[in-house]
Amino acid sequence: MDKSCDGIVLIDKNEGETSFDVVRRVRKFLKIKKVGHAGTLDPFATGLLIVLLGQGTKLSPYLMSREKKYRATLRLGIETDTQDPTGHVLRKRPVPAFDLETIKEHALGFIGEAEQSPPIFSALRYRGKRAYEFARKGIKPDLKKRKVTIRSLEILSADLPDVTMEVTCSSGTYIRSLATDLGEKLGPGAHLNALRRLSIGPFSLQNALNSEKVGLDRPENVLQDRIIPLRDAIPHLKEVQVDDQLAHKIRNGYQPQWEALRGRCPLQEVLEGQIKLVEGGALVAIMKVQQQMGHDSAGLEILRVFH
């Protein structure tokens, strides 16, 4: 495989296509086998989709765990079984003439850490299957609540029955559940009517290629020019440079001890967490560092190796 195809590419997914539709087209036009994505967008949703290329597929957990930002529109007065516009209507209720300030006041209560109930129509695992497989058969899976963090929630407009908001949240947050919960708090209920993902971690929709262009004739150069290399795809990890000899050994299974890195990275700068080992401009590995109490050393564990 051409190493220039290892990395990630930012795509602005359009409404009506699945995340896999985008992956399939990228795979076809770049002519590489290993292509994936970090964070599914439902067909009705649009916005930032990080497509993983070649060895970039190893970066999925490091990208999916990043904070995300969305613009979402909920429709008050209508509840659906999927909590989005694709489902069957369960209930309709009249929508009071809310003013913008009233909606903002109610929305403030969702900022911070909370436990959220995932949608039953989701891809979460339940008894060995996807939750939506049970939901489609009329069986309600008993999904455990999960801790999520809403860092910010700004109500942009209220063109009733539609309310548009921007949400910055932790990984694992379901905006469909947030829309449902806000609708219940306001009274008439709601479902998520539109969703657009604006960012994932440091990566913004402003730098993404519209998915329509991936389907044009001979888009290879357009895609190739937009590939973000492995090293730059995880800018949140501290970088430690290693020489070519150590890089070669690590790529062949060597597990370095702290002494091998001591002069390259002071222990107090790392403490605990993950770092990336880089040789020149190439990503060599992602390593877990755990400081050992009472010792001027650290326990190291190679998590991913990149060739």
Cis peptide leading into 256, omega within 30 of 0?
A: no
Q: Are 191 and 180 in contact (CB under 8 A)?
A: yes
Sign of the dihedral defined by the CA atoms of residues 133, 136, 137, 142, in that order:
positive
> How far, in Å, CA of 82 to CA of 135, rounded?
9
Q: Are 49 and 21 in contact (CB under 8 A)?
A: no
Q: Are 277 and 256 in contact (CB under 8 A)?
A: no
Is 42 marked active-site?
yes
Q: In 3-state terms, what secondary structure has residue 133?
A: helix
Q: Which of 12, 42, 81, 84 is catalytic?
A: 42
Strand 68-76 versus strand 238-241 pairing type: unpaired
* Sequence-ordered list of residues with C-beta below 8 angstroms from that of 265, at least 6 positions apart, any chain: 238, 240, 275
* Sequence-ordered list of residues with C-beta below 8 angstroms from that of 59, at least 6 positions apart, any chain: 8, 38, 52, 230, 233, 234, 304
Supply the residues annotated as catalytic. 42
